[in-house]
A and B are shown apart, each in its own frame.
Chain A
Amino acid sequence: MTEFSDFVSQAEAVLRRGLVARFGADTGRTAAVDVLSWAWSRWERIGGMQNPTGYLYRVAVNQTKRRLVRRPARFPVVPYEAEPWVEPGLPAALAQLSPRQREVVVLVHGYGMSHSETAELLGLKRSTIQNHLERGLKKLRTELGVHDHA
């Protein structure tokens, strides 16, 4: 069984980034902290699972949804001085995507996860990932006024 600390070093980024994309910055990060803390105390059972990251992701999503009914995800604006790379309109554009579209776009495009890895994490089919990705990217580019030059 993988040591918990090794697991965290592998899974923390995926859980945090995916949950932030799903629920917004503060809520998503808190959900990641909560579910990892919970996993720590149950690692003997969870560590033996085939896909503990996916399992914990779904636990976090279910628990957070149960407590945050219909609260919109919040994506704060980052001051230009702190992160000049980020387009000022990006937070608002992300907020326009559906939670699923945001998860997929951020994980696949932001962090280079493959469609298979993303499908496994989210418990969806690869074809579904592709659909969310295409629609999400299209919407995001439209919101940002970006056009493909390919």
Chain B
Amino acid sequence: MRDLDEQLRRYVDSVAPVIRPDELRDGSQRIRRLVPALAGAVVVLVAVALVIVPGLHQSPTGTTASQRFVDSLLANATVVHEDPIIYQPQLGSAPAFDTSGLGTEVTLHAASSTGTDLDATMQLLTSDRDTTPASAPWEGPILHIGSLDDGTRLLLNFVSDRDYFWAITSGSEFAEGAGTLDRYGELGSFSPGGTYVAVRVPLETSVVVFQLDDGTTLWQRPAVGHGLFPIMRYGELPPGTITALDTTGATIGQWPFDR
């Protein structure tokens, strides 16, 4: 039998020959035509995959609604961390109506810039990977939805084109929730006496209002339809509602919250 190293070389180069410059030129020209209509490197990359390799857009079971959902989440995102790559989507459009009657605002902060501010978070998440529900977490697309004033972050990890899980990190701890595009989830608690609730609303949402039957009313500008609320309360949360509003204050949708 021939030398294994030599065989590996010959095999890979025979089934995947050297890339010719014209292949890159063709690809790049297609990119340039798309750039004026698209914003951001992430969008360009998605577009390249769609235009150059239509087959890649198909999962083994065909294009799914949730795959389009993932694409839409990444559409205007920027890369804020390189290893692993973490995308930061934009906040929804600012409300053009008076929000003073909506209750208390919970601000969602974007990751500041490309750099190391997410290193500790990712180290925490990957060090606990054995406890996560997915078989290969933190290797698919990761979105940093935002952080709260207390430093708690909400991240999404798409482990497949159908399933993703949410995770929040706070200090040296993290909590998680998993599901297939669930509407909301309680993701751990904080001291003294409180619970974090992540919510999902339509992408076009400008303001999401989280109201509980005990009178708690909070609102937030979500990022790509995802938000995170810290609820100060001992014990179980009472039922309530999640309401999505557009930039004019009109209701897009309303859903019951009931643990």
Could you tell me the distance in whole angstroms from the C-beta of B7 to the nearest C-beta in chain A?
Answer: 5
B85 near A144 with CB under 8 A, answer: no
Interface residues of A in 110-127 (CB under 8 A from B): 110-112, 123
B35 near A62 with CB under 8 A, answer: no
Could you tell me the distance in whole angstroms from the C-beta of A39 to the nearest C-beta in chain B?
Answer: 9
A83-115: CB near B (< 8 Å → 1, else 0) gives 101110011001000000000011001111000
Interface residues of B in 128-145 (CB under 8 A from A): 139-141
A13-50: CB near B (< 8 Å → 1, else 0) gives 10011001100011111101111111011100100010
Chain B residues with CB under 8 Å of A36's CB are: 19, 24, 27
B16 near A20 with CB under 8 A, answer: yes
Contact of A33 (CB < 8 Å), options: B4, B5, B27, B85: B27
A34 near B10 with CB under 8 A, answer: no
- Measured CA separation A83–B12 after assembly (Å): 11
A63 at interface by CB-CB < 8 Å: yes
> Given A12-B19, A58-B84, A69-B161, is A34 in contact with B8 using a C-beta cutoff of 8 Å?
no
- Measured CA separation A62–B139 after assembly (Å): 7
A69 near B59 with CB under 8 A, answer: yes
> Given A21-B12, A28-B16, is A34 in contact with B48 using a C-beta cutoff of 8 Å?
yes
Chain A residues with CB under 8 Å of B57's CB are: 67
B158 near A87 with CB under 8 A, answer: no
Contact of B41 (CB < 8 Å), options: A40, A42, A85, A91: A42
- Measured CA separation A12–B23 after assembly (Å): 12
- Measured CA separation A120–B135 after assembly (Å): 25
Could you tell me the distance in whole angstroms from the C-beta of A90 to the nearest C-beta in chain B?
Answer: 6
B31-52: CB near A (< 8 Å → 1, else 0) gives 1100100000100111011001
- Measured CA separation A85–B31 after assembly (Å): 39
Chain B residues with CB under 8 Å of A94's CB are: 11
Contact of A62 (CB < 8 Å), options: B4, B19, B53, B84: B84
Query: In the complex, which residue of chain A has the Cβ closest to the Cβ of B74?
Result: A66
> Given A62-B84, A69-B60, A87-B2, is A106 in contact with B8 using a C-beta cutoff of 8 Å?
yes
Query: In the complex, which residue of chain A has the Cβ closest to the Cβ of B28?
Result: A40
Chain A residues with CB under 8 Å of B4's CB are: 109, 140-141, 144, 146
> Given A34-B52, A38-B45, is A83 in contact with B60 using a C-beta cutoff of 8 Å?
no
Chain B residues with CB under 8 Å of A140's CB are: 4
> Given A8-B24, A78-B14, is A32 in contact with B19 using a C-beta cutoff of 8 Å?
yes
Could you tell me the distance in whole angstroms from the C-beta of A54 to the nearest C-beta in chain B?
Answer: 8
Instruction: Enumerate chain A interface residues (CB-CB to B < 8 A).
Output: 5, 8, 12-13, 16-17, 20-21, 25-30, 32-38, 40-42, 45, 49, 54-55, 58-59, 62-71, 75-76, 78, 82-83, 85-87, 90-91, 94, 105-106, 109-112, 123, 140-141, 144, 146
Q: Other than the known A36-B27, A59-B85, what 6 A-B pairs have Cβ atoms closer than 8 Å?
A: A29-B16, A29-B19, A58-B83, A65-B139, A69-B160, A146-B4
Instruction: Enumerate chain B interface residues (CB-CB to A < 8 A).
Output: 1-2, 4-19, 21, 23-24, 26-28, 30-32, 35, 41, 44-46, 48-49, 52-53, 56-60, 70, 82-85, 139-141, 158, 160-162
Between A and B, 14 residue pairs with Cβ closer than 8 Å are A8-B24, A20-B16, A30-B56, A33-B24, A37-B27, A41-B28, A41-B35, A62-B141, A67-B58, A67-B161, A87-B2, A123-B83, A144-B1, A146-B1
